[in-house]
Structure 1
Amino acid sequence: MPDDALDPVIHAPARLRVVATLVGLGGGDRISFPRLRGMLDMTAGNLSTHLRRLEEAGYVTITKTYEGRSPATYVALTPAGRLAFDVYAQRLRELLGSGR
């Protein structure tokens, strides 16, 4: 991949929405899967597919736990994911600025 290329993991529109939403959380913060799904207005299956790809890239962590007797899933952006988004955003700004 050329140094100035946009990260294909983040560049997919749905994954870009996921990462941009997670960047808005404070560093180290996490969000419940249902809340993230609602914010993004995505189906559970679609969101799960994109989260899996982001997890494989090391950009998010997914924690499955229990709250009482109910299963709960939380999603958090990793430091690598935050850095990847920052690089992605910078490259996009450079691309948009070069067209002027």
Structure 2
Amino acid sequence: MSGASQPPALDRELHHPTRLALAAYLSACGEAEFAVLRDYCQVSDSTMSKTLSALEKTGYVTIRKGYLGKRPRTWAALTLTGRRAVAAHLAALEEIASAARTAGAEAGEG
């Protein structure tokens, strides 16, 4: 990486581990139910609700409410904007990791 190049563009909205885990999970499926996401991310209902709200506010996630039988349910899905943001964020992370591996290998040669 030269001094003139820009640092990789990490997405501030996806930088938090819970947001990134949630978005990555949703990137692999069309839609997921609130409890499934909460359990996957291993967080409380409150934390999951705040995480979904934050990602919805950025336009990365859409929220759908409905009923399964008589029980209220909430589903979330990643938007196209969200899918692009996840892909770009993961590419930036890989660029950082790759640059670090290269720098480490070059330092080990000296």
Normalised-by-shorter TM-score class: 0.7 to 0.9
Measured on the aligned residues, the alpha-carbon RMSD in Å equals 1.5
Counterpart CA distance in 1 for 2:98 and 2:79 is 28
Shift of 1:39: 1.7
- Could you tell me which residue of structure 1 aligns to residue 13 of structure 2? 9
Bigger mean CA deviation after superposition, 64-73 or 10-19: 64-73
SS of the residue 1:38 aligns to: helix
Detail structure 1 runs of 4+ shifted over 2 Å in the superposition. Answer: 2-5
Shift of 1:3: 7.3
Counterpart CA distance in 2 for 1:19 and 1:34 is 15
Shift of 1:65: 1.0
- Could you tell me which residue of structure 2 aligns to residue 19 of structure 1? 23
Count of aligned pairs: 96
User: Which amino acid is 1:6 matched to?
Assistant: L
The structure that has the greater radius of gyration is: 2
Counterpart CA distance in 1 for 2:85 and 2:9 is 12
The alignment-based identity, stated in percent, is 35
Counterpart CA distance in 1 for 2:69 and 2:7 is 47
